[in-house]
Amino acid sequence: MYQMGEAEIEAVARVIRSGRLFRYQDGPNGEPAESVQFERELAQKLGSSHALAVTSGTAALICALVGLEVGPGDEVIVPGYTFMATALAPLAVGAVPVLAEVDAGLMLDPADVEKKITPRTKAIIPVHMNGNVANLDALIRVARSRGVKVLEDCCQCVGGSYRGLRVSRHGDAGVFSFNYYKNITAGEGGAVMTGDSRIHQRARMYHDGGSIFRADAKDFTVAAFAGVNYRTDEVRSAIMRVQLQRLDEILSGLRRRCSALRERIGSAVEFSPVHDLDGVCGSYLFLRVGSRVEAQAFVKATAERRINAYLPYDTGRHVYWNWDPLMERRGAHHPKLDPLQSTTQTYLKDMLPRTTEHLERTLFVTIGLDWNEADIERVASGLIECSKAAVGQAELVS
């Protein structure tokens, strides 16, 4: 959580005083609900035609897949490095996740996507991990040439952009998470963004089993189908409206500090490749080293210097070989609902060797929004020292 304060407290108090905590309740004089206003403001800020606020990023992924008409018999390509929810969401709509390699910047690799597309592939999910952006031009080119949909997972990149256009606007739909660890947050939350009214209607229908009775469904052209309940609530939306106003300041603060750090380090340490340096959120600096041994020595040295760095290789549920439900082929709570029971798709611990190598050789440095010049100087010189120490250690071991 980057920033939260009196304005959010006021917003929560306003909702509680109003007594209207349910999103489908307008004010006494017809004032739109907080959730309606949040959706409008989010869509306007990012330049989208439609926003649907939901309870989490996972719910947003599932609703977006429903929106895209993904279902049983379909395959969805996901990267081997992402939070596990990206890979499990296709299962929730009856589809089979297909794992693909990431590139040296830890983003979905277009060349491997191309190899993994089959006649059953319905969608790909590029993930903008840790505030960095995926290689969208190449990914969208591959997807379009094969008639495959693109769903951007922007959960870790709220507000980021690619070639001047906010993430979530490049593919057919995009999703955000507003959980506690994201750029803006209400503790939990999420959103589905799309420029396509059919995708939006289907996602909205699914997110609320009772949607057909709601006023906002009166113009739906999509026939009613059964849904669930991923509805947001007014307290959360009131918080998110304030957080949205803070987004630009949070991003510019992170970007300024991240690029000052890069500049100060210069060529003394290798950076991981980035697909659009101007668009990244600046929440993390990705560094690339020669080997797993060097990465481990590097991160140990940073801890000794009070620099906040970590290894993506060791981030548990973000790494494909730790996705137990896939590795152990339990894709649902009931075998008859499990898409993995009727696919030849295999999931093996060593199935993505390039992903493994890139994870072994990458290190993330967390950027502090409160850093001053002296902090940046301390972290930069510390990283240069750590790098030299790590190279020395790695040479000793080999």
The residue among 164, 181, 195, 204 whose CA lies nearest residue 66 is 204
CB 87 within 8 A of CB 97: yes
* CA distance linking residue 69 with residue 195, whole number of Å: 15
Q: Which residues between 283 and 342 bind ligand PLP (CB under 6 A)?
A: none
* CA distance linking residue 123 with residue 78, whole number of Å: 9
The least distance separating ligand PLP from the CB of residue 126, rounded to whole angstroms, comes to 10
* CA distance linking residue 178 with residue 195, whole number of Å: 21
**The pair of three-digit structure tokens given for residue 17, joined into one six-digit string:** 């005083």
Question: Is residue 168 at the binding interface for ligand PLP, with CB under 6 A as the rule?
Answer: no
Q: Candidates 52, 85, 148, 280: give the one binding ligand PLP (CB under 6 A).
A: 85
Tell me whether residue 151 or residue 260 sits nearer to ligand PLP (CB atom). Answer: 151
Tell me whether residue 62 or residue 363 sits nearer to ligand PLP (CB atom). Answer: 62
Rama region for 130: left / alpha / beta (φ>0; ψ in -120 to 50; rest): left
Tell me whether residue 228 or residue 384 sits nearer to ligand PLP (CB atom). Answer: 228
Question: Is residue 190 at the binding interface for ligand PLP, with CB under 6 A as the rule?
Answer: yes
Count of beta carbons in the 10 Å neighbourhood of residue 283: 26
Q: Which residues between 223 and 262 bind ligand PLP (CB under 6 A)?
A: none
Q: Candidates 48, 82, 283, 302: give the one binding ligand PLP (CB under 6 A).
A: 82
Q: What is the SS3 assignment for 77?
A: strand
CA torsion 205-208-210-213 (nearest 10°) is -60
Q: Candidates 83, 162, 313, 323: give the one binding ligand PLP (CB under 6 A).
A: 83
Tell me whether residue 132 or residue 272 sits nearer to ligand PLP (CB atom). Answer: 132
CB 261 within 8 A of CB 362: no
Q: Candidates 109, 152, 153, 360: give the one binding ligand PLP (CB under 6 A).
A: 153
CB 308 within 8 A of CB 392: no
Q: Which residues, other chains included, contact 30 with Cβ-Cβ below 8 Å and sequence gap of 6+? A: none
Tell me whether residue 179 or residue 356 sits nearer to ligand PLP (CB atom). Answer: 179
Q: How many Å separate Cα 41 from the centre of its chain?
A: 20
Q: Candidates 15, 23, 43, 56: give the one binding ligand PLP (CB under 6 A).
A: 56
Cα-Cα end-to-end distance for the chain: 41
The residue among 322, 308, 318, 320 whose CA lies nearest residue 363 is 308
Q: How many chain residues are in contact with ligand PLP, going by CB under 6 A?
A: 14
The least distance separating ligand PLP from the CB of residue 59, rounded to whole angstroms, comes to 7
Tell me whether residue 39 or residue 153 sits nearer to ligand PLP (CB atom). Answer: 153
Question: Is residue 177 at the binding interface for ligand PLP, with CB under 6 A as the rule?
Answer: yes
* CA distance linking residue 122 with residue 95, whole number of Å: 9
Q: Candidates 121, 132, 135, 156: give the one binding ligand PLP (CB under 6 A).
A: 156
The least distance separating ligand PLP from the CB of residue 368, rounded to whole angstroms, comes to 20
The least distance separating ligand PLP from the CB of residue 180, rounded to whole angstroms, comes to 9
The least distance separating ligand PLP from the CB of residue 108, rounded to whole angstroms, comes to 11
Tell me whether residue 220 or residue 313 sits nearer to ligand PLP (CB atom). Answer: 313
Q: Candidates 57, 79, 126, 159: give the one binding ligand PLP (CB under 6 A).
A: 57
Query: For the purposes of burial, counting CB atoms within 10 Å of the CB of 69, is it exposed (0-12), middle (13-18) or buried (19 or more)?
Result: middle
Question: Is residue 86 at the binding interface for ligand PLP, with CB under 6 A as the rule?
Answer: yes
Question: Is residue 80 at the binding interface for ligand PLP, with CB under 6 A as the rule?
Answer: no
Question: Is residue 127 at the binding interface for ligand PLP, with CB under 6 A as the rule?
Answer: yes
* Helix (H) / strand (E) containing 111: helix 110-116
Instruction: Report the residue number whose CB is nearest to ligand PLP.
Output: 57
Q: Which residues bind ligand PLP (CB under 6 A)?
A: 56-58, 82-83, 85-86, 127, 153, 155-156, 177, 179, 190
